[in-house]
Amino acid sequence: MTEDETGTDDEVGDEADTETDTDAETGPGPDPDMMQSDPECTEFSELEVAWNIDSAVPRVVRGEDLRLTAEDCEDAEFEDPDNLEDAALAVAEALRPLYGLGVEHTFEVAFVGSDALGFTHVRLTHHYAGVVVSGSQLIVHFDGSDRAYELNGHLFPVSGVDVTPTSSSDNAEAAAQVDFDQAHPGLVGAASSLELVVHVTEGGPRLAYAFDMSAGDLLWRRYVVDAHDDSLLVAVSAAREGLEPEPGEPATITGQRLAGEGGGTVERTGWRGDMTSTHHLFNQDSGLSVHDAVDCGSFEPECINEPTSMWGASDPFGLSGFANLLDTVDYFQTTHGWAPAKVPRMVVRFPNDCFGPPNTNAFFLPGYAPADLILVTVPAPGDSPLGTTDIVGHEYTHAVVNSTAGLIYQGESGALDESFADIFGALVEFATQPDDAASYPAFSPGSADWLLGEDRGSPFRDMRDPAAFGDPTRYGGNNWADTSEGAFDFGGVHTNSGVQNQFFYFLSEGGAGNNDGIAYDLTGIGRAAAAQIGYRAMTVYTAPSSDYADSRQAWRSAAIDLGGEHLAAVEAAWEAVGVGACPTWFPDSDMDGFGDTQAGMEACEQPPGHVDVGGDCDDTDAARFPGAAEVCGDGVINDCAIVFCDDDPNAPDCVDVEDFCGTPQIAVVMGQIQVSWTTDCLLQTSPDLVNWTDYRGELDVQGCEQAAQFTPGEQLFFRLRTH
């Protein structure tokens, strides 16, 4: 994938890394939306699988306990049965055949997280021939009883990659320096954290060097450079952490909010320095602070401060940003139990011309130290400041995504990143401001609604009606942006966020109407319930390369975990935005137009060699299919119409039929019913049927519907069944 400058976030930006989790309520159960797998190991047939037809690997594998599958199918030996990391690796290794992976594909534990349900989630990095595959990840999920109930993720089944580089890392650094010079003229970048990776592009997998390059405190970039031809594959912004203020003690700071948020008085706990008695925008409990940049490459080590605790109207931009950052962290901790190891600890206010002409913008810049940054520009001439609640909440959510799902900022995964940030930016606003959604499309300063960025003077996105700002409301529908490599805005990440934004509004609020050609009539579940499902989908079930189909599965799995009460609502809301359950396709080996029902797979596009009609009783014989002409005496049932009464061929109420046609003769001989045909077939039923003299059904023999007299008693109509 070709990426560039994740910090150029049209009012809000981002990128990706590793993980943690938290949440609430009951446990997972069977999932009717999943298809049975096509077995290689016989135990695989008992698994429920949703497939990614593009890569021919599962999106989700669900079972009673995948640990038992690992033991039964691969004779897996758990080094420590109580060690879930060991168990997760064993599950992944055992299911390699289901993913079509050879022994050159291996896995390593990247992160282990737990949540309020008592569930454990083990994220695994994927390696090919000992080299990590960027963005390829599996997640093994264990319930409170340590039962491995689900495996999901987005995996790239790469093959044929030459993992021996033909160009040196020095050449890769030189290629990156050319880009760094263009982004920051006159600065020399220093490379660090270099590793060899398999990087998947639209043109296929490529061996590459991945590393950081930095100059100053703020100017960090992440590079991926081809290890054979030195071509630049990725250039992504990053950042470092700052410093704490002088020694002192907590103190209340009082001042005025931004006019766009109502301009009222706000109080927050900041910091009073011992030596100067100045009051800093630094909070000791959370470690959060607000700084001014010195220039485009560095920031003041000392927090924004004033000589008194009563700031008045001296810096509403800085004080609002500080208050909103504290409120956002409180929302995630209080509502979702978020306890991160690595989060944005600072908002840095920096010049508006660091990335080109003056532009009012906000960014999340992931660092490779213990903290990340949120950067907010000084407003360009005529613009309003961006330190408002939903914008700060949006940027902070990028950090949550970065620490959990690690979504790659490109194409559909980047659009999901932007959408999650919009969703939780809006939720933070609803949690901290008066609800004014009823005034839509009007809005008032300092009030919560479904608009993004409205408190800066004018909104830039609308979750209730994304199309109002030119964003799509249906997957692949009107306004859908080009997601290919090199396309504008990293493949339309801001534009295409509209689809999941619309989904979340539908899930929360419901409604009826027509969405870009899709009729819908939905009952909302409320923002609180939708937020819990969304947080779990984002932090537990979303992987770095997840696309919209993966996200639907993530929200479904989260809803199931939380008791299943809202599963139908989740599915209906996704249907309303064009991301519904894909059709089931059946392999048609004999090409008679009917497929093998037992090997069906869910896919949104028709796989080669598959049809959408099942029911073939023998997919190796083109003369046998539903509706085929019966051939008398050939020893088989051609039209597949006759099946056993139930799954047990020895059941007493079943009739065993081989091959028959013509007019049946029915008689009672020694207390048993005998049925014979003009061919050489003779069938005998159970004695139970002797007393069914007034049974009313139909005689359905190879398409011939006929009634026969039966003595003693009334007419007997019945249906013969066999395999």
Q: Average pLDDT of 392-421? A: 92
Q: Answer whether residue 511 shows pLDDT above 90.
A: yes
* Structure tokens, 239: 């950042």
Q: Could you check whether the bond before residue 381 is cis, i.e. omega within 30 degrees of 0?
A: no
Rg of the chain on CA atoms, in Å: 31
pLDDT at 18: 34
Inter-residue contact 194 to 210 (CB < 8 Å): yes
**Residue of 226, 110, 109, 243 lying closest to 166 (CA atoms):** 226
Pairing of strands 48-52, 35-36: antiparallel
pLDDT for 303: 82
Indicate the pTM of the whole model. 0.75
Checking if the pLDDT of 579 tops 70, the result is yes
**Residues near 318 by beta carbon (within 8 Å), at least 6 away in sequence:** 281, 290, 304, 349, 387
CA–CA distance, 639 with 617 (Å, rounded to integer)? 8
301-305, 338-342, 489-493, range with greatest mean pLDDT: 489-493
Cα(271)–Cα(280) distance, integer angstroms? 5
- CA dist 120 and 634 (Å) reads 57
DSSP 646: S
pLDDT of residue 715: 31
Average pLDDT over residues 66-78: 64
* Rounded-to-integer distance, Cα 129 and Cα 151, Å: 22
Q: What is the pLDDT of residues 154-213, one digit of tens each?
A: 999 999 999 999 999 999 999 998 888 887 777 777 887 899 999 998 889 999 999 988
Q: What kind and span of H or E run contains 638?
A: none
Q: Is 35 helix (H, G, I), strand (E, B) or coil?
A: strand
Q: Looking at 482-614, which runs of residues are DSSP E strands? A: 510-515, 518-523, 584-587, 601-602, 610-611
Mean pLDDT along residues 322-329: 92
Question: Which pLDDT tens digit goes with each residue over 590-643?
Answer: 999 999 887 777 676 678 889 989 888 888 999 888 878 766 556 566 777 543
Dist. CA 533–CA 547, nearest whole Å = 18
Question: How high is the mean pLDDT of the chain?
Answer: 78
C-alpha 222/C-alpha 5 separation (Å) is 9
pLDDT confidence of residue 238: 52
pLDDT at residue number 79: 55
Burial 488-503, CB ≥16 within 10 A → b, else e: ebbbbbbbbbbbbbbb
Question: What is d(CA 30, CA 149) in angstroms, rounded to the nearest whole number?
Answer: 9
**Could you tell me what percent of the chain has a pLDDT over 90?**
46
| pLDDT band with cut points at 50, 70 and 90 for residue 660 | very low
Tell me which residues are annotated as active site: 395, 494
Q: What is the bridge-based pairing of β-strands 232-238 and 3-4?
A: parallel
pLDDT digits (tens, 9 = 90+) for 188-199: 778 878 999 999
Q: What pLDDT sits at residue 74?
A: 54
Q: Span 559-584, mean pLDDT?
A: 92
Distance of CA 472 to the CA centre of its chain: 19
Q: What is the DSSP letter of 398?
A: H
pLDDT value at 687 more than 90: no
* pLDDT-wise least confident of 145-159, 341-355, 566-580, 602-616: 341-355
Kindly state the average pLDDT of the residues 638-667: 44
Q: What digits encode the pLDDT tens for the residues 110-119?
A: 999 999 899 9
